[in-house]
Structure 1
């Protein structure tokens, strides 16, 4: 009996870790592989080529985008969301879309409502500039909208090599002087 209890526990942990579980905390729906692919594709699409209808990929309530990398590039203090809600995020994307050629390098691990994504982008927004590679990691939070019957991006937590991003967007950064 103990063997089957351990086996059952291991199967439950494995299912939750790979996203195969159907119910999460509080009875909420959990991500399945197709849902993960949908949200990752939505994230890539939002950053690669913004269009107004893509706001539908983002949860209306409770959304935030957290990135000390973005705050640093923007010259803002770190430790708070760069976009605290959907309105701020959509407003920024509409006025100044990122439109960077995001390449998804790896998806996973993922669980009931979070997906880890490793990505890269080589680009420049400087006329005649040399594109530098930027590599980052994003943890997407997903939420299931029971009324719309679809998954939405609830949160974006992203960090990346901000020096290359800064240079790619026109910033100038030189190496520090060697120690005396």
Structure 2
């Protein structure tokens, strides 16, 4: 509101001010401006998990283009140990970097054991992957943060951790325990 208008309203009295101003009820202002955010249904969460599995075990650029948000980020200290990235930093900081990595990597046979939690915009799941030289199941946890853009749910971020020592054995590596 401009200062001259405020001064004029003040001079004309409180009845004019009451007519000129909308209701100052904070709840009515909030509800008029805010709409409830869209929340994932259990069925939509299951679809997002299916997309996640395709991104890891049967990667295709078109899935990533459509179902990963433009501000996508992937974080995994488990993966960071294999690619010599500092722990705590994003593993794949952009959608483009993720796409390049997935395109260059072999697919991993991710099997979803359970979807343990569905929040408004997040899904938590447990999975395992058995492959390679050792054929041992490496168990993992993934938190998928989503956003509803472009008219459908997209993956905004992945937080993934798994048994990296078993993964190492499956890739043909080894380790020595010194304890």
Q: After TM superposition, is the score higher than 0.5?
A: yes
Question: Structure 2 residue aligned with 1:133, among 137, 146, 149?
Answer: 137
Q: Deviations over 1:91-143 (max 9, x none)?
A: 1111224x11111001021110010000011111xxxx221210000000011
**CA distance, structure 2, for counterparts of residue 108 and residue 92 of structure 1:** 28
**CA distance, structure 1, for counterparts of residue 47 and residue 61 of structure 2:** 18
**CA distance, structure 1, for counterparts of residue 51 and residue 74 of structure 2:** 15
Equivalent residue pairs, number = 145
Report the TM-score, using the length of structure 1 for normalisation. 0.76
Q: Which runs of 5+ in 1 are unaligned?
A: 1-24
> 1:116 maps to which residue?
124
**CA distance, structure 2, for counterparts of residue 57 and residue 163 of structure 1:** 30
What secondary structure sits across from 2:69 in the alignment?
coil
Instruction: Specify the structure having the higher radius of gyration (Cα).
Output: 2
> 1:94 maps to which residue?
103
**CA distance, structure 2, for counterparts of residue 73 and residue 26 of structure 1:** 43
**CA distance, structure 1, for counterparts of residue 162 and residue 134 of structure 2:** 19
> 1:170 maps to which residue?
172
Runs of 4+ in 1 over 3 A off after TM superposition: none
Q: Determine which structure has the larger helix proportion and give its number.
A: 2
Q: Which runs of 5+ in 2 are unaligned?
A: 1-33
> 1:54 maps to which residue?
63
> 1:10 maps to which residue?
none
